[in-house]
Structures are given as C-alpha cells and as structure tokens.
Structure 1
Amino acid sequence: MAVSSWAGMSEREKEGCRELLDLLDTDDLLALTDTVTTRLVQPEDRQEAIHAILLYSQSAEELLKRKKVFREIIFKYLATKGVIVSPSSEKHQLISRTKLYWCEELKNCASDEKCVKPNEEQHEEGGKQEGDKQDNDKEYYSLAEEFCQWFFGILNSQNPLIGQSEDEYGPQHFWDDAKLKFCYHTSEENIEEYFGAELVSLRLLSLVKEECLFLNPNLNTGGLRCTVSPHGLIVVAVAGTVHRDTCCLGIFEQIFGLIRCPFRENTWKIKFVNLKIVGQNAMEPGTEIETPCIQYEKEELQEFCVPKELALIEPQKN
C-alpha cells in the first residue's frame, strides 16, 4: 500500500478530524480547502473538500491550529463527544484536550486491534519469516506511536496552562524499580538520577506542573524509533520540541524501556527513562529546532536492552 500524506495521522485522528470538519460552515470549509491545498484543489462538494483537507494536512495538530478551525468548533466537537471542558478554555487548551481524547479512545480500543495476516501466497519459509518480521516491526512501531501519544498526552495535561486531565498520571504507570536519568543543557550541563516509581513519576511531573513545560513529540518525520529485545523489553526513542506557553525553548530526546505487565492484558509499564533536554541557546549552530529527529539506529537502540541501557544519553554528533 502506498504511503499517502495521511501518514502523519492515526486512523483515529483522521476519523476525528473528519467529524470535526463536518461541523464547519460550507464557506469556511471551502476557504480552509484553499489554504491547505494552496488553491490547487477545487472540490465539488463538502465531502471532497474534507477529503482534500485531510489528504494535504501533515498532522492533526497542524489542522486543528488552522484559523478556520475556530475555537468554538473544537468546543462543539468535544461537547458532542461528551467531553466536558471549561467554556472559557483557550484554543490551544481545546486542541490538547481533543488530542488526549483521541489517545484515550486508542488505548481503549487497543485490545480489539488485529495483527496483519501474512501473505497467504507466500510459500517459501524465508519469505514467511521476512513477512512475519515486517509485521512485528509494524506492530511494535504502532505500539510505540500509541504509547507516545498516550504518555505525552497525559503528562502534558498536567500543565496548569492547559488544564487537568480526567486520566490519572502517577507512579502506577511505572515499575517499582523504575529509573530516570535526566540531562538538561542550558548554559551548562546538569545531570540528575532518580530511582523508584514515585520519584521518577514526580520528577517528570514537576517539569510540566511546576516548570510549565510542554513536551511536543515529533511522531512523523524521523522523530520516533523503536526496537525490542529477545526478552520482550521494548525500547522507544522519541525526539521533539520543548515549549512554555507560546515560546519554543529547545529540543528533547527521550528513551523509554517498556515491559508488559503479566497481570493485566495489553498493559505496559515503564522500566526506565532517559531524558535529555537541550536549550535553544546551547544548541549547535544550524540545528533545525522545528523537526528534531532520533539519530539512533535500531542496532544502537538494542544496546539499551542490556544492563548498560541506563547509561546517560550522549549528545548526538552530526
């Protein structure tokens, strides 16, 4: 199947954006089509307009931020879904709540997802093994993407500038012996280490709740990689930008180790976290701050699957 411009949206995001766009007046919908497609597409009806907007939008967040997607429309969409938000919520708060709502639905539906069946016409054993490997890679990548959408959604929702989430963030999402290594580089490099679910959870929480940071992961263009060890540890590496209100402060790189919970089906808990934040004033000249990418290859991520996985993330060299 060919990759389309929808690659930046999950199936749930496509469905949600389609429902939300259907609430727009026809004039606003057509005006939005002109903006998104730079007037290259002239739809004949509303459904063609919605199709074109989704096709040429790079991500759900980009679409929701468009001027013609009014704050009132997002509020109305959430209301139709039974999601209660303050009528005085600003647009960026409504966008965050909408994304969180979609992530919650993804999490609830995860148990119903089916693995892709191998090609029934493949008869050679080597071909079957390669097909199985590709299916597993897609499955783990989907799990990593879903995890990041959920984790950053629930963490960012604790930011007082956005509003509290109905979901509970806390140590219950970490293993009791979880470990965090946190490196942040502004005027100088600082390193912190935390052990135990409670302390790891609280330190990450303080970044968004006390320091009012917003971690925006890049899940589209090279910002997400993952691998799995023979023993079932999934390593997820994600890069993104760090914001406070409307100001972009720098970039971050975060690596998670996830282990399946043996007592709860389709539940994964965090074993370790390596987080590195680099402030804009400490970045190397020429660094692209808008689209930070993960430099690790899968083979390098495998090194995090062994005891030395807790080594501090070293700066990536160009």
Structure 2
Amino acid sequence: MQGLTETERVGFTKILNLMSKSDLLSLSDTVTNKMIVVENISEATETILSFTKDAEELLRRKKVQRELIFKYLAKEGVAMPPNSEKHQLVRRTLQLWSSAKVVVDESHRGDPDGNRRQRPTETASDSTDMKAGVGFDPLVLGQQFCQWFFQLMNSQNPSLGQQPQDWGPQHFWPDVKLRLLSRTGSEQMEDFLGAELVSLRLSALTKEERLLFCPNLEPFGLKALVSPHGLVLVAVAGTIHRDAACLGIFEQIFGLIRSPLDHNSWKIKFVNLKIKGQEALGGAEVAAPALSYNSSELQLLCS
C-alpha cells in the first residue's frame, strides 16, 4: 500500500493541528494499535501520517470529528452548509485533495528535475502559468484565485487559531478600488481607493469583525470572464459565518490584471463586495448561494 500522498499529508497535518493533545495521542494509539508510544504532539502527528495508508479511513475515525473537518474546509476556502453531515464533509475533503493533486502533478511537467511545486500561499498567477501552452482558461484561474484569496483572507481571523498568512497591499494594484455594499438591517455603501486602504478594510472584516468567508466554487456560484485588454473578471458567491453561526451571504467581483514588474503575477485592480445579512434574506436558504449576476452584466464591467 502506497500510503498518503503529499497533498493528503499536508491536509491531514492541518486537521490534526486542530485536535486536542489527548485526542491526538488517542488517535495515534488507535492507528498503531498501541504498538508505538509517542510522547508529544509532533511525534503523534508524524506517527499517524506514517501509519495511515488510506485517507478516507483516517477521516472517518471517531476522533476526527465532524467539526474539525468543517473548520478545515472553511480555512481552505471551501463552502459547506453548516448542517452538513460528516460523510458529506469527508467526501468534499477527498475531492479537494484529489483536485489539488492534479495541480501538483501538472506543475511537474516540463521540469526535468521535478522541482516545481505549488506553495500553499502561491497566487493563482503562478499555478496558471503551467497551462499557458494549452490555452488560457479564465475559470481555472478563477477557481485557483478564489481558493488562494479566501484562504489568505480567512487566515487573518483570530478565532481560527492559525498563523495569519502574508496579507497586505502587495496583492493589489496601487490604484485599486473597493466598493462595499452591506445590507444588514440598514443599507450602507463604502468606497475605498488605494492598495493600503483596500487591504486594511478587507482584512478588518476577518481580523476585527471575525467573519469567515466560504465561497461557493461550484459552477452556479462562480463565473470568470476575460476581456480583450487582459482584464480577468472573477465573480463568486458564498456564505459568511462567525464561529458556528451563518450570518448571511456575499457576492464578490474581482478585476485581475497581470503585473509585468512583479514576476508577471496577477494583482487585484478592483473589488465589488455585496453582503446580505440573514434579515435581508427573509429566511431564504443560504447553504450554497448562486450568483445573481448574469454574463451580460459581468461583461459590462470588463469594458
């Protein structure tokens, strides 16, 4: 049996880091049939990963609780209904790891040394470059960008108990514009201009307001278009949470343009963010919200 893939090991490490020490040591005993004695968290984690041959089997272990998998998926920017059952979360996690494995495998093509690996905080620009020879797919870029962006943004939330990733104005164009429309009781519109202000306002949503953004990356929740001038438009819908409570939904549109002076990476040119609280939804189902924008409306933003 070949054991866990590198993608699965990285994912499991993040899940195991969410567990209490007692549960982690107990899980190590279960996986090894108490044949190996571990003395600390790092030993327990490495032992569990080394002795696990099947990812699904480990995910279904009793000590790998439903709440841990839900929190892990949220950190990775994967939206799941708060009432999802464990088997649904397990299946979605395996799908996530399987798709990530494809990206990593493709990133080795054309590299005789096999050194090309996608970093956890790698921007969508780098991972999309590998597809340049077979045609540009804006939807692939949109999916990779959203996974990267919301994982980065959510990492600023102190309630998740993880190390914040490298958020900052460096991911935006200097003249970036943000329009924030919130409907939470009353309607409020805010406009911000400049990389520093836009970066601070967006990070405040997760860092200070402790919101968690879970994008819906299924076809009805994500659209991506490209203009003749090189602007890529990414539109995504999702749910907003604080701890275990679902507070409402959001729709966010990004305009992305490559920066030739910064390794040709994609940077954010503008952001339109709409937030609707539960009271504005009238009790409607928000588990996996769809985009309200159609392609014609999005095309206007590309012009």
Same topology, TM > 0.5: yes
Q: What is the CA–CA distance in structure 2 between the aligned matches of 1:95 and 1:186, rounded to whole Å?
A: 27
Answering whether residue 200 of structure 2 is matched by residue 202 of structure 1, we say yes
Which residue of structure 1 aligns with residue 288 of structure 2?
291
- The one-letter code of the counterpart of 1:169 is W
Answering whether residue 178 of structure 2 is matched by residue 180 of structure 1, we say yes
Secondary structure in 2 matching 1:161: helix
Answering whether residue 225 of structure 2 is matched by residue 231 of structure 1, we say no
Which residue of structure 2 aligns with residue 7 of structure 1?
none
Alpha-carbon offset, residue 18 of structure 1: 9.0
Q: What is the CA–CA distance in structure 2 between the aligned matches of 1:106 and 1:170, rounded to whole Å?
A: 13
Alpha-carbon offset, residue 266 of structure 1: 4.5
Moved more, 242-251 or 98-107: 98-107
Deviation per residue, 1:135-175 (Å, 9 max, x gap): 53xx2111111111111111110001013535310111111
Alpha-carbon offset, residue 17 of structure 1: 5.9
Match of 2:297 among 257, 277, 300: 300
Alpha-carbon offset, residue 279 of structure 1: 0.3
Which residue of structure 1 aligns with residue 127 of structure 2?
110
Q: How does 1:136-155 map to 2 (within 5 A)?
A: 136=136, 139-155=137-153
Q: What is the CA–CA distance in structure 1 between the aligned matches of 2:204 and 2:229, rounded to whole Å?
A: 32
Q: How does 1:260-299 map to 2 (within 5 A)?
A: 260-285=258-283, 287-299=284-296
Deviation per residue, 1:160-205 (Å, 9 max, x gap): 1013535310111111111111011011111111111111111111
Q: What is the CA–CA distance in structure 1 between the aligned matches of 2:193 and 2:225, rounded to whole Å?
A: 24
- The one-letter code of the counterpart of 1:206 is A
Q: What is the CA–CA distance in structure 2 between the aligned matches of 1:190 and 1:227, rounded to whole Å?
A: 28
- Would the alpha carbon gap of residues 67 and 299 (structure 1) be closer, same or farther in structure 2, given more than 3 Å must change? farther
Q: Is the 8 A contact 1:161 1:212 kept in 2?
A: yes
Q: What is the CA–CA distance in structure 2 between the aligned matches of 1:232 and 1:112, rounded to whole Å?
A: 15
Q: Is the 8 A contact 1:93 1:162 kept in 2?
A: no
Alpha-carbon offset, residue 116 of structure 1: 6.7
- The one-letter code of the counterpart of 2:286 is I
Secondary structure in 2 matching 1:107: coil
Answering whether residue 248 of structure 2 is matched by residue 250 of structure 1, we say yes
Q: Which runs of 5+ in 1 are unaligned?
A: 1-10, 28-45, 55-62, 72-89, 118-134, 307-318
Secondary structure in 2 matching 1:268: strand
Which residue of structure 1 aligns with residue 64 of structure 2?
70
Q: Is the 8 A contact 1:96 1:157 kept in 2?
A: no
Which residue of structure 1 aligns with residue 72 of structure 2?
95
Q: What is the CA–CA distance in structure 1 between the aligned matches of 2:217 and 2:6, rounded to whole Å?
A: 15
Q: What is the CA–CA distance in structure 1 between the aligned matches of 2:171 and 2:62, rounded to whole Å?
A: 38
TM-align CA RMSD: 3.7
- Would the alpha carbon gap of residues 170 and 17 (structure 1) be closer, same or farther in structure 2, given more than 3 Å must change? closer
Q: What is the CA–CA distance in structure 2 between the aligned matches of 1:197 and 1:264, rounded to whole Å?
A: 15
- Would the alpha carbon gap of residues 69 and 239 (structure 1) be closer, same or farther in structure 2, given more than 3 Å must change? farther
What is the number of residues matched between the two proteins? 227
Q: Is the 8 A contact 1:224 1:294 kept in 2?
A: yes
Moved more, 170-179 or 101-110: 101-110
Alpha-carbon offset, residue 15 of structure 1: 8.3
Q: Which of 1 and 2 has higher RCO (CA within 8 Å, sep 6+)?
A: 2
Q: Which runs of 5+ in 2 are unaligned?
A: 17-27, 34-51, 78-96, 101-117
Which residue of structure 2 aligns with residue 316 of structure 1?
none
- The one-letter code of the counterpart of 2:273 is L
Q: What is the CA–CA distance in structure 2 between the aligned matches of 1:276 and 1:246, rounded to whole Å?
A: 21
Secondary structure in 2 matching 1:222: helix
Deviation per residue, 1:225-262 (Å, 9 max, x gap): 01011100111000000000111000000000111011
Q: What is the CA–CA distance in structure 2 between the aligned matches of 1:170 and 1:156, rounded to whole Å?
A: 13
Alpha-carbon offset, residue 68 of structure 1: 3.9
Alpha-carbon offset, residue 13 of structure 1: 6.1
